[in-house]
Amino acid sequence: MSKISFQNDILPLKNQLYRLALRITLRNAEAEDIVQETLIKAWNVRDKWDTIDNIEAFCFTICRHLALDSIKRHDNRNETLENVRTDAADTQQTPLDKATTNNRMDIVRHLVDSLPEKQRSCIQLRDFEGKTYKEIATVMGIPEEQVKVNIFRGRQAIKTQFQKLDNFGVSKKNP
User: What is d(CA 24, CA 108) in angstroms, rounded to the nearest whole number?
Assistant: 16
Taking only the tens place, the pLDDT of each residue in 81-139 is 444 344 444 456 788 888 888 888 888 888 888 999 899 999 988 888 888 999 999 98
SS3 (DSSP) at 113: helix
Q: Is the pTM of this model over 0.85?
A: no
Residue predicted with more confidence, 33 or 109: 33
In the chain, what percentage of residues exceed pLDDT 70? 85
For 58, counting Cβ atoms within 10 Å of its Cβ (0-12 exposed, 13-18 middle, 19+ buried), the class is: buried
> Is pLDDT of 53 > 80?
yes
Chain-wide mean pLDDT for the chain? 83
* Residue 74 confidence (pLDDT): 73
Each residue of 142-159: pLDDT tens digit?
A: 999 999 999 999 999 998
- Determine the Cα–Cα distance for residues 11 and 39; give it in Å rounded to an integer: 7
Are the beta carbons of 125 and 136 closer than 8 angstroms?
Answer: yes
